[in-house]
Structure 1
Amino acid sequence: MKPIKTIIILLFIAVTCFSCTSDSTSEGSDFLDLEATIKTDVEYGIEEFQTYDIYLPAHRDIDTKTLILVHGGGWTSVDKKDMNTFIELIQKDLPNLAILNMNYRLVDETSEAYPMQINDITAVVNHLNSNIDAYQISKDFGFVGVSAGAHLAMLWSYAFDDTQQTKMVGSIVGPTNFTDPAYLEDLNFNTLNQLEQLYGLDLTTEFLEKISPYHQITELAPPTILFYGGKDPLIPTSQGDQLQSKLQELGIMHEYTLYPEAGHGWEGLELLDTWSKLKVFIGANLE
């Protein structure tokens, strides 16, 4: 599963050119006069990749919520820098949010994806909670993940958020169901071989369900927004279709967009449409 850095860069260029969002500053504000602050490579653990960057907005207070970004890269590559241009977009159009851009440990010959990467999200959340007073923000947050990062964001939000702090989760081309016949039977996706390398196990149905957001979701899941490409060579369209049906069945607020001609990323009007919908959804559930 390849990172989709191109979609993020094009997204920023497109919205910068065409967005009519008004200037984020306002005079006469009653907010506390806190300055904007950026902290980079904050350590939330002792391992090399257990770091995050946090962007704290000016005038923040105890109601200021955080958007946590989780990069893609097939669980094995890339880091938080891949989301930096996306940060600029959020700061421009959603200036009242704090932004946390996280790294997580990557799979290699000495480590397995699960539960290591889920544990890293838990560690990030715990670190954020322990610094709420120092950061002067709310404990509420949302997620936006891309590809493998979207899978991790959904899985954590649906199965590991015991205190329901997650107020929304966004998936851009994230895998949702590893028991999907499109994965198990269609050799074009070659997913089982990749999963065996990632998890180092004989993959049972029980284990595949454990790591699938589709099988872990309950009626307590947060509002969810999904984006998929109809010609994605890595993620079959059934991944979005199935989760959308489960969200509807459970009565969970959600949005689902499929771009029929898009692959594992897109540009142009589809890209503008993605940010337009994502921006409104984040604003409605976090701001």
Structure 2
Amino acid sequence: MKKSFYIGILSLFILLNYACSSDSDVSFVSNPAEETIAARTILDVSYGAETDQVYDIYLPPNRTLSTKVIILVHGGGWTSGDKADMNEFVELILADLPEYAIVNINYRLANETTSPFPMQLNDITSIITDLRARNEEYIISEDYAFLGTSAGAHLSLLWSYDYDTQANVNMVASIVGPTNLADEAYLNNVDPAIQAYIDLLGANVVIPFLENYSPLNKVTASAPPTILFYGGQDPLIPNSQGMDLSDRLTQLGVTHQFTFYPQEGHGWTGQNAIDTWNKLQAFIGEHH
């Protein structure tokens, strides 16, 4: 695989904001003699009434109703970002894990008057409902994995731990995702950037609300295998976030891996990005 795929895939996810692709439905057969079911790429599939409620789906050739699905969830502090931010992960999965279907999602964004919770979690539920309803049309299974970055990692963890009532999530991956919104490092912060995200949750946010939307407080012994990646110099995610969830997973006996890069921030490039992808590939291959 080309090394260029790796460069920049983990840089400042929370700040990225690309335009999304136009509607498209592309089918192709690279070798009709060998393939009976063609690969398909369908962009901007609607799962709700609002413009942000769309996803892209990449379906591999020769798939069956046992073909497993990887769901990508972009970051952006719950207020920005787009599924296009995850396109390099799409390229990596297509190149290195070609047997999986990929669903790259958008969700409704929060603002000063609209809380992200539970709105964005409800959007993920709607996506799962839509995928289940179309599984025979798409020719895919109801086995899912989540890979999220930053705020998208928070949503991936929380949905997998607390909203997956049918236990269809085989694994979840968090890259620099918040895990405990009630962390003292957040509540007592002096950073305007961090405070802006706390303020987003409402003027009179109370501890029970923050705990209710924190993966750390919702994880149980039945949680799916979890892989975590965090940077020691992250200005937005205190070191306690990844470490505390890793400790809780250990206490509960949940299969997991925790990688901590002491010199990295809210995203990384180069050798550590390659290391992250190699570990993700192996974890997906083992648990999904």
Q: Indicate whether the TM-score tops 0.5.
A: yes
C-alpha displacement at 1:113, in angstroms? 0.5
The correspondence for 1:105, drawn from 105, 108, 132, is 108
Look up the equivalent residue of 2:211 and give its one-letter code. E
Look up the equivalent residue of 1:69 and give its one-letter code. L
> Does the 8 Å CA contact 1:72/1:146 hold for their aligned counterparts?
yes
Report what 1:148 is aligned to.
151
C-alpha displacement at 1:62, in angstroms? 1.2
Whole-Å separation in 1 of the counterparts to 2:112 and 2:226: 33
Whole-Å separation in 1 of the counterparts to 2:58 and 2:159: 22
> Does the 8 Å CA contact 2:90/2:102 hold for their aligned counterparts?
yes
> Does the 8 Å CA contact 1:9/1:86 hold for their aligned counterparts?
no
Superposed, 1:75-154 pairs within 5 Å as 75-154=78-157
CA RMSD of aligned residues (A): 2.1
Whole-Å separation in 2 of the counterparts to 1:153 and 1:225: 12
Matched, 1:267 2:269: yes
> Does the 8 Å CA contact 2:176/2:229 hold for their aligned counterparts?
yes
Look up the equivalent residue of 1:125 and give its one-letter code. I
Whole-Å separation in 2 of the counterparts to 1:92 and 1:35: 17
Whole-Å separation in 2 of the counterparts to 1:7 and 1:73: 16
Look up the equivalent residue of 2:100 and give its one-letter code. L
Runs of 4+ in 1 over 3 A off after TM superposition: 188-193
Aligned-pair identity (%)? 50
> Does the 8 Å CA contact 1:183/1:189 hold for their aligned counterparts?
no
SS in 2 for 1:64: coil
C-alpha displacement at 1:194, in angstroms? 2.1
Report what 1:278 is aligned to.
280
SS in 2 for 1:8: coil
Matched, 1:209 2:229: no
Whole-Å separation in 1 of the counterparts to 2:82 and 2:271: 27
Matched, 1:163 2:169: no
C-alpha displacement at 1:253, in angstroms? 0.4
Whole-Å separation in 2 of the counterparts to 1:185 and 1:157: 28
Look up the equivalent residue of 2:118 and give its one-letter code. P
SS in 2 for 1:7: coil
Report what 1:8 is aligned to.
9
Report what 1:18 is aligned to.
none
Superposed, 1:27-38 pairs within 5 Å as 33-38=36-41
In structure 2, list runs of 5 or more residues that go unmatched: 1-5, 12-29
Whole-Å separation in 2 of the counterparts to 1:263 and 1:9: 10
Report what 2:241 is aligned to.
239
> Does the 8 Å CA contact 1:184/1:191 hold for their aligned counterparts?
no
Report what 1:16 is aligned to.
none
The correspondence for 2:188, drawn from 174, 185, 188, is 185
Whole-Å separation in 2 of the counterparts to 1:152 and 1:228: 16
> Does the 8 Å CA contact 2:145/2:169 hold for their aligned counterparts?
yes
C-alpha displacement at 1:9, in angstroms? 7.1
C-alpha displacement at 1:192, in angstroms? 4.5
In structure 1, list runs of 5 or more residues that go unmatched: 11-24
Whole-Å separation in 2 of the counterparts to 1:201 and 1:113: 14
Whole-Å separation in 1 of the counterparts to 2:95 and 2:197: 38
Report what 1:20 is aligned to.
none
Look up the equivalent residue of 2:125 and give its one-letter code. T
SS in 2 for 1:186: coil
Whole-Å separation in 1 of the counterparts to 2:157 and 2:10: 23
* Most deviating of 243-252 and 199-208: 199-208
Look up the equivalent residue of 1:169 and give its one-letter code. V
Report what 1:258 is aligned to.
260
Q: In 2 relative to 1, CA 8–112 (structure 1 residues): closer, same or farther, beyond 3 Å?
A: same
Whole-Å separation in 1 of the counterparts to 2:235 and 2:7: 16
Look up the equivalent residue of 1:8 and give its one-letter code. I
> Does the 8 Å CA contact 1:170/1:224 hold for their aligned counterparts?
yes
C-alpha displacement at 1:7, in angstroms? 3.4
